[in-house]
Structure 1
C-alpha cells in the first residue's frame, strides 16, 4: 500500500507535467480554459455519477456531509475576515474565500482514507465528499450573482450545470440499484478518470513560480485555514460531543485536505484571480505533505 506522501505526490507530478508542457511550448496558458470546460461538461459529471451510484448509504453516515458543509462555510468566513482586514478587492477576496472553502476530499481524500482505514474508511470518505458537487454548484451560482449575473442567469446556470445533473442522476441510480453494464460503465469510468489529470494539467499551465513568491502570504493563510484550523475545529468539536470511531477519524482527516483542484475551475470560469488560485493550490498541496502525515499519526 502506497504511503500518504506517495499518494499526494501523484497530483503534484501531474501539475509539474502541465508546467513543463507550457515551458516547452507544447501547450499554452490559454489552453487551460479548454481543459476546464471539458472537466465541467464531461469528466466531472461522470466522476460524480459513479461515486454516488455505487455508494452504500446508511442513515448513520448523515453527519459526514453535514460536517463537510459546516467546515466549508467556516473556512469561507475565516477567509472573508482575513481579506476584510487586508482591504482586498472583490475579486481577490472571493478567490481566497473559494480557496479556503473548497476541500480536496475526493481525489486526495479518497486514496489516503482508503490507504489508512481500508474499504470502510473509503465509504465514509465518499459521504463526506457527497456535498462537494452541491457546494461547487452553489458557489458557482453565487459567483455569477456577485460578478454581474442576474437571477435568471443564475437559475439558467444552475439548471444547465452538468455536475449538478451528475449528483441528481447518481442519487437516482443509487436508489434504483442501476447497473450500467460493461460498455456504459467502462465509458463513464474512463471519463471519470480523466477529471483529475485534466485539472492538474490546467493548473500546471497557469502556474508561474514568480506568482508563488508574490502570493506567498495569502497562500500560507489559506493553507493554515485548510490544513490546520479546519481539522482542529472538527477534532475539538467531535471530542466534546463524544463522537468517536470511523466518523471521527475520517472527518478529521478529510477536513484537513488541501484546497480542491476544482477551485481553479471556478476561478477560471468566473474570472477570479486564477494566478493567485494556482499559487494557493500549489503551496497547499506541498504543505499538506507534512500536515496530513501529522494528522494521520494523531488519529491512528
Structure 2
C-alpha cells in the first residue's frame, strides 16, 4: 500500500495544484483553454507516438475497443431511460447523455501510467478509440438534439483530430515494425512528458460546483461510473481478459464523465451548472475509486 501511495502522490499533488492555482487566480478560463489546446494538439499526440511503436500489441487487445463500445451503448441507453424517468428538461437531458457516454480517460491516464507503465497506456489508448469517436459523433449529436447546434462540425473534428491521427500512425508503425530514430524519439519523449502534468493541472483548475438538484447529479454519476464499473467487470469476464487487459477495461469503464460534457453544454446552450457539477464530482470520486481499483486488481 505504501508503494501505491508513493506512485500516486504526484498525481494527487498536481491535481491539487491546479485547483489551488485557479482559486488563487494564477490560472483563469483562458489559461485553462490554452493548456487543453497544447495537450490535445501537441503533448498527447507525442505521447501516443512515443509509446505505441514500442509496445507489444497482442491479439487479446482487440477485445478492448469492443468492450469500450459495449460500455458506451449500455450507459447511453441507461441515460435515455433515466432521463425519461426523471422527466428531465431537454437542456439537462443533453448533459446526462454526453456525461454518460463520454469516459474521461484523460483523468485516469496518470494512474495507469504510474502503475501499469507504457503497456497500460497502450491498452488505454486502444480502449479510448471508440470513446473518442463517439464523443464527437453520438454524444455530440445527442447534445445537439437537445441544444442549438449541428453535427457536421463534430464529424470534421474527429477526422482532423491530432490524437486520432497519432493513434493510427502509432499502431501502423508498430505493425510495420517502424521505430522513431534516437533524435526523433528524444524529441517525442520531451514533448510527451508534458502531457500528464499539464492535464492534471488543467483538470484541477477546471473543478467547480454549482447548485443543481442532487438527483440529477447522482443519476449521472450512477449511470457513468457505477453502471460503467459493473459493465467493465462483466465484459472483462465475458471476453476472458486477464492481467493488464482486465484491469484497464474495469478501470476505464468506471471513469468519470468526460470534460467534453462541459464543452458541449457551453456550445449547445445546455445545463452548464449540471455539466460542471457532474464532471467535478466524478473526478473527485475517481481520486478515491481508481486507486482502490488499482490496489484490488
Question: What TM-score bracket applies, with the shorter chain setting the length?
Answer: 0.7 to 0.9
Deviates more, 1:52-61 or 1:10-19: 10-19
Deviations 1:84-105 (A, max 9, x none): 3334344432323222222244
Aligned to 2:232: 234
State how far apart, in whole Å, the 2-side matches of 1:133 and 1:125 are: 12
- Superposed CA RMSD: 3.7
Q: Is residue 161 of structure 2 the alignment partner of residue 164 of structure 1?
A: no
Indicate how the Cα distance of structure 1 residues 190 and 100 shifts in structure 2: closer, same or farther if over 3 A, else same. Answer: farther
- Decide whether the 8 Å contact of 1:227 with 1:258 is kept in 2: yes
Quote the Cα distance in structure 2 between the aligned partners of 1:7 and 1:274.
Answer: 34
- 1:134 maps to what in 2? 133
User: Is the Cα–Cα contact under 8 Å of residues 268 and 274 in structure 1 kept in the other structure?
Assistant: yes
Contact 2:233 2:250 (C-alpha < 8 Å) held by counterparts? yes
Structure 2 unmatched runs, 5+:
none
Rounded to whole Å, the distance in 2 between the matches of 1:9 and 1:29 is 26
1:285 aligns with 2:283: yes
How do 1:90-129 and structure 2 match up within 5 A? 90-105=90-105, 108=108, 111-112=111-112, 115=115, 124-129=123-128
Alignment correspondent of 1:207: 207
Q: Following TM superposition, by how much is the alpha carbon of 1:180 offset from its aligned partner in structure 2, in angstroms?
A: 1.9
Q: Distance in 2 between matches of 1:120 and 1:144?
A: 34
Aligned length: 294
- Distance change >3 Å, CA 88–CA 33, structure 1 → 2: farther
Give the structure 2 partner of residue 74 of structure 1: 74
Deviation at 1:66, TM superposition (A): 0.5
Judge conservation of contact 2:106–2:199 (CA < 8 Å) in 1: no
**How far apart in 2 are the matches of 1:296 and 1:288?**
11
Task: Find the aligned partners of 1:160 and 1:285 in 2 and give their Cα distance.
Answer: 28
Q: Does 1:252 align with 2:253?
A: no
Which residue is 1:149 aligned to? 150
Determine the C-alpha separation between the residues in 1 that align with 2:262 and 2:111.
21
Give me the whole-angstrom Cα distance separating, in 1, the residues matched to 2:7 and 2:214: 24
Compared with structure 1, are the counterparts of its residues 55 and 235 closer, same or farther at alpha carbon in structure 2 (3 Å cutoff)?
same
> Offset of 1:165 from its aligned partner?
1.8
Deviating beyond 6 angstroms after TM superposition, the runs of 4 or more aligned structure 1 residues are 117-120
In structure 1, runs of 5+ residues without a counterpart are none
CA deviations on 1:2-60 (whole Å, 9 max, x unpaired) are 66566666555434333322332323234333333333332333333334333422223
Question: Does structure 1 retain, via aligned residues, the 8 Å contact 2:55–2:118?
Answer: no
Residue 50 of structure 1: aligned partner: 50
Q: CA deviation at 1:73?
A: 2.4
Does the 8 Å contact 2:149/2:267 carry over to 1?
no
Counterpart of 1:28?
A: 28
1:207–1:105 CA distance, 2 compared to 1 (3 A): closer
What is the TM-score with the length of structure 1 in the denominator?
Answer: 0.76
- Please name the residue that 1:174 is paired with: 174
Q: Assess if the C-alpha contact under 8 Å between 1:145 and 1:154 holds in 2.
A: no
| TM-score, normalization by structure 2 | 0.76
* Equivalent-residue separation in structure 1 for 2:137 and 2:6 (angstroms): 33
Distance 2:112 2:246 in 1: 15
